[in-house]
Amino acid sequence: MHVVMAADYDQMSRKAAYVVAGRIILKPDCVLGLATGDTPKGLYRELVRLHRSGDIDFSGVSTFNLDEYIGLAPEDPDSYHRYMEEHFFRFVNVPPERRHLPDGDASDMAAECRRYEASIERAGGIDLQILGLGRDGHIGFNEPDVKFEKGTHCVRLDSSTIEANARFFSDAGKVPKRAVTMGIRTIMRARSLLLLASGPEKAEALRGAVLGPVTPELPASVLQLHPDATAIVDEAAARLLR
Ligand code: F6R
- Percent of the chain at pLDDT > 70 equals 100
Position 49 in a domain: yes
Domain count, the chain: 1
pLDDT of residue 158: 86
Contact 86, 52 (CB under 8 A): no
The model's pLDDT over 99-120, given as tens digits with 9 standing for 90+, comes to: 999 999 999 999 999 999 999 9
- Percent of the chain at pLDDT > 90 equals 93
The model's pLDDT over 76-95, given as tens digits with 9 standing for 90+, comes to: 999 999 999 999 999 999 99
Q: Has residue 174 got a pLDDT over 90?
A: no
Position 242 in a domain: no
pLDDT of residue 172: 83
Choice from 9, 32, 65, 133 to test ligand 1 binding pocket (greatest atom count within 8 A of CB): 133
pLDDT of residue 149: 96
> Which CATH number covers residue 24?
3.40.50.1360
Report the mean per-residue pLDDT for the chain. Answer: 97
Local structure of residue 95 (DSSP, 8 states): -
Q: How far is the CA of 116 from the centre of ligand 1 (A)?
A: 20
pLDDT of residue 156: 94
Residue 137 near ligand 1, beta carbon < 6 Å: no
Residue 145 near ligand 1, beta carbon < 6 Å: no
Residue 162 backbone dihedrals phi, psi, to 5 degrees: -60, -45
DSSP string, 109-132: HHHHHHHHHHHHHHTT--SEEEE-
pLDDT of residue 160: 86
Q: Has residue 241 got a pLDDT over 90?
A: yes
Residues marked active site are found at 67, 136, 138, 143
Position 148 in a domain: yes
pLDDT of residue 74: 94
Contact 20, 40 (CB under 8 A): no
Question: Nearest C-alpha to atom 11 of ligand 1 is from which residue?
Answer: 134
Chain CA centroid to CA 113, Å: 17
- Rounded Cα gap, residues 98 and 59, in angstroms: 9
Q: Which atom of ligand 1 is nearest to the CA of 161?
A: 11
Position 12 in a domain: yes
pLDDT of residue 16: 98
Residues belonging to the chain: 242
The model's pLDDT over 40-74, given as tens digits with 9 standing for 90+, comes to: 999 999 999 999 999 999 999 999 999 999 999 99
Local structure of residue 97 (DSSP, 8 states): G
Position 235 in a domain: no
Q: Point out which residues pair with 195 in neighbouring strands.
A: 131, 231
Contact 17, 232 (CB under 8 A): no
Question: Nearest C-alpha to atom 5 of ligand 1 is from which residue?
Answer: 134
Rounded (5°) CA angle 59-102-190: 65
Structural domain span for residue 150: 2-182+198-216
Position 234 in a domain: no
Position 21 in a domain: yes
Residue 176 near ligand 1, beta carbon < 6 Å: no
Cα four-point dihedral sign 8, 94, 175, 221: negative
Q: How far does the chain reach from its first CA to its final CA, in angstroms?
A: 15
Closest CA to 198 of 149, 144, 234: 234
Q: Has residue 212 got a pLDDT over 90?
A: yes
Q: Has residue 170 got a pLDDT over 90?
A: no
Position 48 in a domain: yes
Q: Which atom of ligand 1 is nearest to the CA of 140?
A: 8
| Choice between 110 and 174, residue whose per-residue pLDDT is larger | 110
